[in-house]
Every structure is written in C-alpha cells, then in structure tokens.
Amino acid sequence: MGQITLSSVTKSFGEVNVIPPLDLQINDGEFVVFVGPSGCGKSTLLRLIAGLEDISSGQIIIDGTDATHAPPAQRGLAMVFQSYALYPHMTVRKNIAFPLKMAKVPQAEQDRKVENAARILNLGSYLDRRPGQLSGGQRQRVAIGRAIVREPAAFLFDEPLSNLDAALRVTMRQEISELHQSLKTTMIYVTHDQVEAMTMADKIVVLNAGRIEQVGAPLELYTKPRNLFVAGFIGSPKMNFITGPEAQKHGCHTLGIRPEHIEVSAEGPWSGTIGLAEHLGSDTFLKVSSDLGELTVRVPGERGLHHGQTIRMGAPADKLYRFDQNGLAL
Amino acid sequence: MARAVSPSRKFWTTLAAWSVALVIFFPVFWMVLTSFKTEASAVATPPQLFSAEWTLANYQDVWARSDYPRFFWNSVVIALGSTLLGLAIAIPAAWSMAFVPGKRTKDLLMWMLSTKMMPAVAVMVPLYLVFQKLGLFDTRIGLVLALMLMNLPIIIWMLYTYFREIPGEILEAARMDGASLWNEIIYVLTPMAVPGIASTLLLNVILAWNEAFWTITLTTTKAAPLSAFIASFSAPQGLFYAKLSAASTMAIAPILILGWFSQKQLVRGLTFGAVK
Amino acid sequence: MSTQSTRLASRLMVAPSVLLLLVWMIVPLAMTLYFSFRFYRLLSPDRTGWVGINNYTWFFRAPDFWLAMFNTLALVGGVLIITVVLGTLIALLIDQPVKGQGVLRILVIAPFFVMPPVAASIWENLFMHPQNGLFAAASKALGYDPILFLEHYPLLSVIGIVSWEWLPFATLILLTAMQSLSSEQLEAAEMDGAPAFARFRYIVLPHLTRAITVVILIQTIFLLGIFGEIYTTTQGGPGSASTTLPYMIFKQAIVAKDIGRAAAGGIIAVVLANIIAFFLMRGMGRHLDN
C-alpha cells in the first residue's frame, strides 16, 4: 500500500505563497522524483506530505484515509533526511530499532527486524558502532535501515545523496533503485540533480516556484517537454534555445536543440567558431559562437576538434523542439 | 596546527602567565594558609609565610562552635535542588525557543534575563513578607524556589544556546519515527545535550551555592546554608583571623573542589553561546 | 517551520517558565510600588496611610542620593572595564604556547568559586587591614605608612574586590572565544603583512565582539545588585563614600526601618535597571543574533 493523493494543496509562510494550489497523484509502488532548482518548493512539498509542516489548505489522502491533519508518526511514512539525522548517542542497532521502540514492538521482534534490515543493507558488522564512527555512505544506509524497519506505506527521501562524493553517489543511487525493486514500496525522492531524477524515477515531477511544470516518465520529459522550463531543466548539457529569424523559419518563437542532436558536418546549414572544447574522452562538449548565437554541441570524443576551428553544423528536423511566445511546446 | 615558537619566547610567556595566575590565586592560597596558623602567627608582623606555627585548632574550634554539617547539608540541598528544579522547568522552555522560534523568541529571552536585573535589595521587604505569609521563610523549600527563580533565566539561556547547536532534522526524524514530544525530549534531545546540560547544572550549582543575599535574608537558623554560616562568623569574631580563615575555607572548599574537578565542562558551559 | 501542533506544544512548554518569572517579577514589584506610596515605618506601626510621592521626593532630595547613583554606575562601569581589559590581556597570555596551561586555568578560575562574603572578608581582613593586612606589611617593609584602603579609597577598594571576583568569568569566556579563532585566519593576516598588533586589532578583537558582549551582559546583570561586598567591607562608608543605590535602600529598610522609603528607592532602582537593560539589550541584541 502506498497511494498518496494531494488535492488543491497550498502552503504559505505568512504572506509568501510557497505552493500554489497543487494536485498530484502518486500510485502504489511508484518511484516518484520531485526535481527542480533550489527554492522551487520541492522539499517543502515533501515535508507537507511527511506532516512536518501544516498545509495551508487542501487535502492529503494516504491510502484512502484523509491524513491532512494527522501527525507525522501516524501517516505510516518513513523519511531519510539530507543530513541523515542519525541519533549520535545511539548505536547503529539502537538507531534502527528506535521507531520500533517508539511503537512498543516486542524486543524479540525488534531484534529480528533490525537483523533483517542490517542484512539487506550490509550493515551487519557495524551494528554496535555509533554513527560518528561510520563513513558517509554507511550513515546513509543506517538512515535507510531506520526507514525500512517501519515497513512504511511510502519512503520519503530528502536529497539523501547530496552530502556524498561523486563516486559514492552513483553507488548509492543504484542501491536505492535496487531497494525499490526488491521492496516495491512507494518512494518519493527529492533532488535538484536531474541525472538522479532521470536514472531513478518511474515518474518525475518537475517543480518550479511551487508549481508543477510537468509530470511524466523520464523519457517522456526528455522527448516531449511541455514547456521551455522542463526542456531546459531535463537533459545535460542544457538544451540550446534560439530565437530570431531561424526560429521564425520553423514557425515558432523559440527553437530548442539538444547539444547531442547537433551534428558537425561540412554540409550543415549553420557555421560557427569553437570557443572552448571540453574533452571528456567519451564525448567532447563544444562551446560554439555561431550565426544562431552561442551553442553547446556534444560530439563523440575522438573527433579532434579544438579551440579556434570553424565548423558547420546541422540538426535533423525531427529533433527540433518548437515553443510559442509563452514558452509552451508546439 | 600549533606553530613552533622559540624556546626563549616560550620561557618568558610561561613566566608571565604563571606570575599573573599566581597573583590572581594568591588571596585564596593565603586564606587557606592562614587557616592553619595560630592566631598569633596569623597577625604577626612581618607576615609569616613558612615560619608560622601550624595548627589544626582553628578547624576544631569552628567545628565545635557551630553545626557545620547542617549548614553544609542545607547548601547542598538548596544548590542542587534549585538547579534540578530549574532544569526541569527550563528544558521544555529552551526546547521550544530553540526549535520552534517565533518572531518574539529573542525578545522573550531578553525579557527573562532582564528580570534578573532587578536588584534583590529593591524587593527584599515584599519577598520577606510573602515568604512569611506562605510559611516559606527559613525553609529549604522556600530557598530552593527563590534561587530556582533567580537562576531560571540563566538556565534557559544556557540551554537555549546548546539546543540551537543540535540540528532540527534529528528531532524531526524522531517525530517521523513515531516519538511523542515527551519521547523526543527524553530519548533524543536530552541525551544529545548532556554536555550542555551538565555545564548548565555545574554553573548554576555554583551560582546558587555562592548566593549570599536571599540565603541570608530569608533564613534564620533551620534552613541557613554556608553563606549564612560565614556571615555569622565574620560579624562577632572580628579579629580572629585564623578562625575566620578556617571557617571561610570550610565554606568554599566543597564548591572549589567540585569546580576544579569539573573545570573543563564548566568552561565550556560558561560561554553562553559566545563562541561558535 | 513547524506544524500547528508543534507550535501549540511549544507554547505550552514555555508557559510555565514565563508564568513563574512573571509572578516572581510582578508580585514583589507590585507590593514595592504599593509600599512606596504608603507611610510604613516599623518603628511606628500605628501610623499608616497614603503619603503620595513623599517617599520619592525624600529619596531624590536625600543628600547622598546622587552620590549613590554615581557610585552604582561607577561600580558597574569600573568592574566592567577592568575585567574586560584585564581579561582580554590575560586570555591573550594564556592562549600563548605556555607550559602547564591546564593548571594555569585552575588557578585563574579559583576566585569564581569563592562566595562574595568570603571574598570580601579575605580582602578586608587579610589584605586591606591597616594593621594586620598584607598590603600594610608591604608598605611598612618599603618604609611607607600603610594605605587606609577602606577609609580613603572605599569605592575603588570595592571595585577592586568585585573585579577580582569576576575576572575569571571574563577571562575564561574570552579565552574560549580566542581558542575558537582559526589559526588559518591569523596566518593569512600574517601573510598579508599585518604586524602583531594589527592582527589583534583587526582579526582577534572583532572575533571577540560576541564574547565581550556576553561578558558585559551577564556581568551587568549581577553587578547592578552588588550588595554583600559593600555590606561586609565598608558598610557604605566612610560617610556615604561607597554607598550605592542598593545599599542606600538597604539602609532605609534595615537601619531606618522605613519600608515606604526603601520601597520608593526600590522602584527607582528598578527603573534604573530597566533603563540600563533597555540600552544594553538594544546594543547587544544585534551582536547576539547571528
């Protein structure tokens, strides 16, 4: 179980309206990622679902029950915080057992569940250490373990990987995805990193200034962004936006071309000079000053392009994104 | 990383620091020394540092002449009682100020502190009358209440500065884990704040132990602590320096020893959030 | 950032403290205010009644009132200046790489554990006493007449005693603050060519602002009510030379047994304390925020 419905949910802090009326349906077993730039309200939205903040109006329904005014503990949700929020004075074992202790679960069952969680998360040999003696990744696992033992209706993750280094982030990302596949529990995951969103989510919710810009599967957002914001936010490097005569030629106000869709070839209709070439090995990113303006271009790594070179470029017509004056996709 | 300094510089700074420290400490040292001299040695001219006649007679006299254990016990009960009661009342208050701050939290804190600025003498008579009326005069419970209220703002402030160093996310995690407010405070906040609570306890025990206005004004005999003990000694004894020193040493020794042993915690607690 | 129920809980949890302090403040204050307009002398218990503002006018016209006001402020100000300046210097000294820092701290902190009546009596009898005090012995050894501290310099003597009591507090807070300064900052300043004094003036001192603020705030709270030290040593004398406002009130209440006048003095003291508190909190609140 783990179906969450938000209807007309709003949140304001005093005069400031952080979340305008918002509707969202999260289905049982889904991995939903809230993504958006910092300050877009994604963490606030998560905290509203968790019950750590009151909503100003609207309704939150969890598994068919109105949970709008329920305290956090009674919503049956578990949360993994950005700082992990482990209890520093308790051992790993006690940390993981804490929710069970609060629920007055018998000791034997507590032990069984803790052992089980430790096995799933490979924490067995650390159970009697304190959080201070663990590495960042291990702490993260303990935080997840503490969430698992509650057998919640849904897991809430608040930017859980942002305190880890790049390599560990990739590993943990995969571990969380695997965990989702084995538990099949609803997960709501907040991040500002669109790569995390794309790789983990069943469903991405793109947020901007408290509003939902688009909801959809990762590839759907990539191939059919509903507006300029989503088009610019999803995909890396960022989509190129072109206005002016070239856009008008295609019958739109703004023309969007993804860097990976631009082809460098002698027959290309556009020309430009390479200002900067970043060689990553597998790929090369080019910053090109062209007749269309500044363009980012992604080409395979071994092309031997470098600073100062003049090149010609083009893009297949079916890979062009067209937007109207209001930024909506045509 | 501490930087290496030249040996000669280290020698001079060490010498200077020790001289200053000894000057500051000297009065206490001299008092203890005097307490072991005979009365004649104590007032001898020139003063005798090591050539004095040593005796334990002063301590025997003081012990025989007054009921030191009772004064001592009253001091312990009053200092510890007022501090523990204060902590029990202050922990929830500090929790709410640190973790659910409002626009007026700072003002509230400042107001609390400002209640301490009212000179005790100014309200001496009314409090005396109130204590008489309520049957609290010359009772330990009365002094526990008075000193608790006197130190409550300090206790709240110290706890507040400690609690603010604890990330709110941890308390929220406890809330998500199903902890009631009570459990959140007992199982999560308090254990995490143990060092801070210990410092607060120490400092306030010392403040209460050394309080010498209300403890003297609001007691006669039954509940009188060591501050009253020493006051009774200095008044009629006049020139009996050695005995006075012995009594003084007996009055301050317990807290001096406690303070020295817990010096590290105390210093940490003394900062009132001045250091981050 | 919280829910309604936590906000409600928070109000309930702060309420006992607020209520207790409110009662602790209001009840004696209201009674003092009431007495201050009454005729209330313990020596003539039969006479009672309202006397308007007579008690206040008596106080303002009393020959030693303004002196007492001055003495009160001089005591607070003097002790603050001495403890902050000396405390900073001593903290700087102990913060150097010296041998036995732990023992040094134990020696320096000692006066803080000495209760005021004991502190006052040590100084009065063992040090400042004109016949038997150590200072007198030192003067005589150097061939001078002993200085009559408590007769000739009563206020300065009291300031000295109180400063000794509070010096450890200031020193330790400032020392802790100094030790929290990152040495990288000082090294950066040294790389920038700042000499030792400039490093103190532009790096160390600003870093200490918050600590100094706290020292001033806490000490003022305690110093405004200083009473025991004066009572033990000078009894406010000679004449009124070391009488402070609290001591003057005490004299009215206990010596003259005039509760009405003492109450009026009490109200004046409370007003003074509030004026000082107001300026202090306004000036300091800024530094205490982060």
Chain C hits for A54, CB-CB cut-off 8 Å, are 3-4
Give which of B99, B169, B175, B176 to mutate to test A binding, by max A Cβ within 10 Å.
Answer: B176
Give residue C41's pLDDT: 82
| Residue among B86, B40, B71 at smallest CA distance from B243 | B40
Residue A304 confidence (pLDDT): 78
Angle, alpha carbons B96-C27-B228 (nearest 5°): 95
**If pLDDT is split at 50, 70 and 90, which confidence band does B274 have?**
low
CA distance, residue B176 to nearest chain A CA (Å): 5
The average pLDDT across C31-46 equals 85
pLDDT band of B208, cuts 50, 70, 90:
very high
In this prediction, residues C161-182 reach a mean pLDDT of 90
B169, B179, B183 member nearest A83 (Cβ): B169
Beta bridge partners of residue A77, listed in sequence order: A154
Question: Is there a contact between B274 and C123 if contact means CB atoms under 8 Å apart?
Answer: no
DSSP track, chain B: -PPP--HHHHHHHHHHHHHHHHHHHHHHHHHHHHHTB-HHHHT-SSPPSSSSPB-SHHHHHHHHHS-HHHHHHHHHHHHHHHHHHHHHHHHHHHHHHHHS--TTHHHHHHHHHHHTTS-GGGGHHHHHHHHHHTT-TT-HHHHHHHHHHHHHHHHHHHHHHHHTTS-HHHHHHHHHTT--HHHIIIIIIHHHTHHHHHHHHHHHHHHHHH--SHHHHT-SSTT--HHHHHHHHHHHHTT-HHHHHHHHHHHHHHHHHHHHHTHHHHHHHTTTT---
Q: Which two tokens stand for residue A262?
A: 């631009």
Using 50, 70 and 90 to split pLDDT, how confident is the model at C79?
A: very high
* Count of structural domains within chain C: 1
Pairing mode, if any, of strands A77-80 and A154-158? parallel
A225 three-state secondary structure: coil
Distance CA B16, CA B19 (A): 5
> Whole-angstrom Cα distance, residue C5 to residue C11?
10
Element containing residue A203 per DSSP (H, E): strand A203-208
pLDDT at residue B19 is higher than 90: yes
Average pLDDT over residues C131-150: 83
Residue A266: count other Cβ atoms within 10 Å of its Cβ: 7
Inter-chain touch C2–A52, beta carbons under 8 Å: yes
Which residues have C-beta within 8 Å of that of residue A142, sequence separation ≥ 6?
A: A84, A86, A92, A95, A96, A121, A123, A126, A131, A134
Chain B contact present for A285, CB below 8 A: no
Q: Is A71 on the interface with C (CB under 8 A)?
A: yes
User: Across chain C, which distance is largest between two alpha carbons, in Å?
Assistant: 80
The answer for A 40-79 residues in CB contact with B (under 8 A) is 50, 52, 71-73, 77-79
What pLDDT shows up at residue B276?
A: 53
What is the distance in angstroms between the Cα of C6 and the nearest Cα belonging to chain A?
A: 9
Phi-psi region of A261 (alpha: psi -120 to 50; beta: other; left: phi over 0): alpha
CA distance A216 to A224: 9
C202 in a structural domain? yes
Range of the domain at C107: 65-242
pLDDT above 70 as % of chain B: 93
Whether C82 is in a domain gets the answer yes
Q: Which of B44, B159, B27 is nearest to B92 (CA)?
A: B159
Look at B149 and C20 and tell me if their CB atoms are within 8 Å.
yes
What span, in angstroms and rounded, lies between the C-alpha atoms of B155 and B199? Answer: 10
Mean pLDDT taken over chain A: 90
Task: Sort out which chain B residues have CB atoms less than 8 A from C42's CB and list them.
Answer: none
- Note which residues in 232-261 of chain B have CB less than 8 A from chain C: 234, 239, 241, 244-245, 248, 251-252, 255-256, 259-260
Vertex C235: Cα angle to C231 and C237 (nearest 5): 150
Check CB contact of A99 with chain B, cutoff 8 Å: yes
Q: Tell me the longest C-alpha to C-alpha distance in chain A.
A: 74
Q: In this structure, which amino acid lies at residue A133?
A: Q
Does residue C94 sit at the B interface (CB-CB below 8 Å)? yes
Q: Are C229 and C158 in contact (CB under 8 A)?
A: yes
- The predicted model gives A57-67 an average pLDDT of 91
User: How far lies C11's CA from each of A12, A70, C25, in Å?
Assistant: 21, 20, 20
| Yes or no, beta carbons of A146 and B178 under 8 Å apart | no
Per the CB < 8 A criterion, the answer to whether B160 and B94 are in contact is yes
Tell which wins on pLDDT, C114 or B221. C114
Q: Higher-confidence residue: B119 or A257?
A: A257
Asked whether residue A97 carries a pLDDT value surpassing 90, the answer given is: yes
Chain A CA closest to residue C2: A53
Whole-Å CA distances, C132 to A136, A287, B242, C37, C119: 68, 90, 12, 47, 17
| Nearest C-alpha in C relative to B262 | C106
CB contact under 8 A, C5 and A53: no
Cβ separation A82–B169 shorter than 8 A: yes
Please tell me if residue B186 touches chain C, with a CB cutoff of 8 Å: no
C14 interface with B at CB cutoff 8 Å: yes
B-chain residues near C161 (CB < 8 A): none
Share of residues in chain A with pLDDT > 70 (%): 100
- pLDDT of B234 > 70? The answer is no
Helix (H), strand (E) at residue A274: strand A270-279
ipTM: 0.88
d(CA B176, CA A53): 12
B163 Cα to chain A: minimum distance (Å): 14
Which chain A residue has the Cα nearest residue B188?
A: A87
Per mean pLDDT, which of A181-190, A280-289, B123-132, B221-230 is the most reliable? A181-190
What distance in Å separates the CA atoms of residue A293 and residue B55, rounded to the nearest whole number? 98
CA distance B178 to B26: 57
Residues 48-87 of B with CB under 8 A from C: none
Q: Which residue of A has its CA nearest to B103?
A: A14
3-class secondary-structure state, position C46: coil
Q: How far from chain centre, in Å, is Cα A256?
A: 23
Residue C224 distance to chain B (closest CA, Å): 6
Q: Is the pLDDT of residue B67 over 60?
A: yes
CB contact under 8 A, B177 and A52: no
What does the DSSP 8-state code read for residue C135?
Answer: H
The answer to whether A131 and A95 have CB atoms below 8 angstroms apart is yes
The answer to whether the CB atoms of C118 and B248 lie below 8 A apart is yes
Give the pLDDT confidence score for residue C131 in this predicted structure: 79
C5, A71: Cβ pair inside 8 Å? yes
Taking 70 as the threshold, does the pLDDT of residue C171 lie above it? Answer: yes
Question: Does residue C216 belong to the interface with chain B, where contact is any CB pair within 8 Å?
Answer: no
Q: For residue C75, is it within any domain?
A: yes
Q: Hey, are the CB atoms on C5 and A52 less than 8 Å from each other?
A: no
Contact B177 A98 (CB under 8 A): yes
The CA angle B57-B59-B62, to the nearest 5 degrees, is 110
- Find the CATH number of the domain harbouring C102: 1.10.3720.10
Name which of C2, C16, C175 is nearest B89 (Cβ-Cβ): C16
C134/B30 touch (CB, cutoff 8 Å), yes or no: yes
Listed in sequence order, the residues at least 6 apart from B217 whose beta carbon sits closer than 8 Å to its beta carbon are: B120, B124, B127, B128
What's the pLDDT score for residue C180?
Answer: 84
Q: Which CATH superfamily is domain B67-269 in?
A: MetI-like (1.10.3720.10)
A60-74, A256-270, C1-15: the lowest-pLDDT one: C1-15
Q: How many CB atoms lie within 10 A of CB B50?
A: 6
With pLDDT > 90 as the criterion, what percentage of chain C qualifies? Answer: 22
Of B173, B179, B192, the CB nearest to A81: B173
Contact B169 A85 (CB under 8 A): yes
CB contact under 8 A, C13 and B114: no
User: Most distant CA pair in chain B: distance in Å?
Assistant: 74
pLDDT of residue A209: 87
A contact chains, 3+ CB pairs < 8 A: B, C
Q: How far apart are CA B55 and CA B38, in angstroms?
A: 6
Confidence of residue C162 (pLDDT cuts 50, 70, 90): very high
Residue B1 confidence (pLDDT): 40
What is the predicted pLDDT for the residue at C16?
A: 93
pLDDT at residue C288 greater than cutoff 70: no
Q: How high does pLDDT run on average in chain B?
A: 86
B202 near B210, Cβ under 8 Å?
no
Query: Could you say which of A71, A83, A146 has the minimum Cβ distance to residue B177?
Result: A146
Q: Which are the contacts of B24, defined by CB distance < 8 A and separation ≥ 6? A: C90, C107, C108, C110, C111, C164, C167, C168
Q: How far apart are CA B222 and CA B128, in angstroms?
A: 16
Neighbours of chain B (3+ CB pairs under 8 A): A, C
Whether A110 has a pLDDT exceeding 50, the answer reads yes
* d(CA B220, nearest CA chain C) in Å: 16
Host H or E run for residue A283: strand A283-290
Q: Residue C289's pLDDT is what?
A: 60
Residue C275 C-alpha from the chain's centroid: 16
Tell me the pLDDT tens digit for each residue of A258-275.
999 998 888 888 889 999
Out of A73, A85, A102, name the one closest to residue B167 (CB).
A85
Structure confidence at residue B237 (pLDDT): 47
pLDDT tens sequence across B108-143: 888 888 888 778 888 888 888 899 999 999 999 999
Average pLDDT over residues C79-83: 96
B176 and A79 in contact by Cβ < 8 A?
Answer: yes
Where does residue B265 rank: exposed (0-12), middle (13-18), buried (19+ CB within 10 A)?
middle
**What burial class does residue A126 get, using C-beta atoms within 10 Å of its C-beta: 0-12 exposed, 13-18 middle, 19+ buried?**
buried
Q: Which amino acid is at B13?
A: T
Which backbone phi and psi does C270 adopt, to 5 degrees? -65, -40
- Give the three-class secondary structure for A83: coil
Overall average pLDDT of the B82-91 stretch: 95
Phi, psi at A162, each rounded to 5°:
-70, -15
Decide if B119 and C29 are in contact by the 8 Å CB cutoff.
no
Looking at residue B124, its pLDDT comes to 84
Q: What is the pLDDT of residue B86?
A: 96
Domains and CATH numbers, chain A: 4-227 (3.40.50.300), 237-323 (2.40.50.140)
